[in-house]
Amino acid sequence: MKYDSQITELKNLLPTAKNILIALPANANIDKLSAGLALFLILEAAGKEISIVCEDTIRVGQSYLFGIDHVQKTLPSTEGGNLTISLEGVASSDGTIPALEKLDWFAQDNNLNLVFHVLSGQTFQPTKIVPHYQGSGFNLVFVIGAANLDSLGSIYRQNQQKFSGVHIVNIDTQSANTGFGQTNVLDTNASCLAEVMANLIADLGYSLDADTASNLLAGVFESTTNLTNPQVNADTYMVMANLLRAGGKKPSVINQPGEKRGLDLSSLIPPSPQEAQVVDEFVTPSVTQTSSATGNDQIQPSPEERPAGERVVSETPEPDWLTPKIFKGSSLG
């Protein structure tokens, strides 16, 4: 259990969490996308309501990752969460409310009434009343590959209140990460995020499937420049072995003269049913046969097949073929 000590609280929260968000930073590469999609596929299979967001437009080179069609560019609307009503302009800089003595509430005719008891001689007049939901109904938010929340781009800037009051799981390999999560899985020694995610999924008690493993293999190969990065170590190869055992497919490496080097992820796509049924047929060569006068079929080699200098053997023996012959020599051995 590589990250067991870092995910103690997460292990307690995850079983009851039903609505989960995975947020990826702007300009996410294949490594970050593969890690996020791997977690998405695992949690979706576990029956969770799960969403994955990234403000980027998916590029052609990333479109072969499994589950890529689930990535949204905007935060999905959700119901639930804790309702907060903000009364603006009534609090002082030290966080106190000088004019307010106490607050009561009571229900009446299907309504909830809030009673603000104002101190004598004070004025309690909010400039604006703003209702909003904290957490927007998400029980957990996984932020993958972001040094800070601002790295999420518009996903965070336009929805800052939705990231408050919710448990954030921060997963990253960057040394510049600010540790902004309530749970932080930070591994600067790992070769890539895909390696971290493979270990994290195992630590959480989930099993890898072929699609998830293929995504993570693509992330490892892309981030390590086909395993040439100096950060590749024994742990990286152990992760790769586990991914291959789970049925993951390695991406093809593009290294042809005149072509841009990189990865061809099209090898991750399974063959169509028609392609899977194609069977190579072996055609038996025909044999030329001749019939003798007696009706017995005899196979005769063609002139092209006969060795050079070999004459045709007649079926009728020479007259002296059966006559005993005596050979004489001029000297004795």
Q: How high is the pLDDT of residue 281?
A: 46
> Is residue 281 included in any domain, yes or no?
no
DSSP 1-30: -TTGGG-HHHHHHGGG--EEEEE--TT--H
User: For residue 244, which amino acid is it?
Assistant: L
Alpha helices in the chain (DSSP H): 8-13, 30-45, 154-157, 193-203, 210-223, 234-245, 273-276
Q: How high is the pLDDT of residue 319?
A: 66
Question: What CATH number is attached to the domain comprising 59?
Answer: 3.90.1640.10
> Is residue 311 included in any domain, yes or no?
no
Q: How high is the pLDDT of residue 33?
A: 96
> Is residue 17 included in any domain, yes or no?
yes
Q: How high is the pLDDT of residue 67?
A: 94
Residue 62: domain span: 4-79+135-273
3-state secondary structure (DSSP) of residue 283: coil
> Is residue 306 included in any domain, yes or no?
no
> Is residue 90 included in any domain, yes or no?
no
3-state secondary structure (DSSP) of residue 176: coil
Q: How many domains does the chain have?
A: 1
State pTM to two decimals. Answer: 0.63
> Is residue 171 included in any domain, yes or no?
yes
Element (H, E) at 196: helix 193-203
Q: How high is the pLDDT of residue 314?
A: 58
**Residues of the chain where predicted confidence (pLDDT) is lower than 70:** 78-83, 131-136, 253-333
User: For residue 29, which amino acid is it?
Assistant: N
Q: How high is the pLDDT of residue 66?
A: 94
Q: How high is the pLDDT of residue 290?
A: 47
Q: What is the DSSP letter of 259?
A: S
Spatial distance between the Cα atoms of 12 and 4, rounded to a whole number of angstroms:
12
Alpha helices in 21-129 (DSSP H): 30-45
> Is residue 225 included in any domain, yes or no?
yes
Q: What is the DSSP letter of 170?
A: E
Question: Phi/psi at 26 (nearest 5 deg)?
Answer: -65, 150
> Is residue 296 included in any domain, yes or no?
no
Question: Phi/psi at 297 (nearest 5 deg)?
Answer: -75, 130
CB-based contact 71:131 (threshold 8 Å): no
